[in-house]
Amino acid sequence: MEACALGLIGDASSTHSLPTMSGKHTDLPTIDSSTMSSLFNSSSNFTIIDCRYPYEFQGGHIQGAINIYTEQGIQTFMESRLHFHSTKNDILIFHCEFSSHRGPKLMRFLGSMDRKQNSHRYPELNFPEIYLLDGGYKAFYQHNKVQCNPQAYLPMLHEDHSKDLRHFRVRSKSWTAGEKRTRSRRVIRSPY
């Protein structure tokens, strides 16, 4: 994401193909809802990565989006993409409900993993062009309901899904996507 400040994609091979805007996360190239909407009428090859929890995704999502909400899911996505086709011209667009935490976090994780996997051929990347959708699904839905499936919006904090929220929060915060981890214990010794 270093090249972002210069208006270049991640591997600095060209400028962004989409118009970017200033957003909450200044280190991430950000697009608005109208730019996202216009992609449906373009010849661009793009993938929308919806980082919300599955119950939110099922309650309404942007047409064609895939639901990935864990770091393990991002790793699996990267591996599968690399095995099946060239990713050089793919545009990835990340978002969550508001594009405040989950979307940016997983976008940064993909960028970091991509950089690490390609350290031997710097500055090349497998996914050089990635964006964050400003305002997330909520903003997109407000202006583009017809491009959502189903045409609905289910907030993360919806009262009917409090158990789901607890379950998926634990899974998404774990590096092992829900498996138990051992905790290291620090021994604090008294100075006396």
- Specify the CATH number for the domain of residue 66: 3.40.250.10
Q: Any residues with CB less than 8 A from the CB of 172 and at least 6 apart, and which?
A: 53, 69, 70, 102
Domain annotation covers residue 172? no
Q: What number of CA atoms fall less than 13 Å from residue 127's CA on the CB side?
A: 28
Domain annotation covers residue 179? no
Does the pLDDT at position 146 exceed 80?
Answer: yes
β-bridge pairing 61-62 and 148-149: antiparallel
Average of pLDDT values for 118-142?
96
Range from 84-93, 129-138, 157-166 that averages highest in pLDDT: 129-138
Domain annotation covers residue 182? no
Domain annotation covers residue 170? no
Domain annotation covers residue 7? no
Domain annotation covers residue 188? no
Range of the structural domain that residue 130 is part of: 29-161
Does the pLDDT at position 33 exceed 70?
Answer: yes
Give me 160's structure tokens: 């009917």
Residue 150 preceded by cis peptide, ω within 30 = yes
Domain count, the chain: 1
| 83: confidence class by pLDDT, cuts 50, 70, 90 | confident
Model pLDDT, residue 36 = 98
Model pLDDT, residue 175 = 42
Catalytic residues: 96
Say how far apart CA 118 and CA 89 lie, in whole Å.
16
Say how far apart CA 10 and CA 189 lie, in whole Å.
47
Between the two ends of the chain, the Cα-to-Cα distance in Å is 49
Domain annotation covers residue 177? no
The strand pairing partners of 94, in sequence order, are 49, 132
Domain annotation covers residue 15? no
Residue found under tokens 């699904």: 137
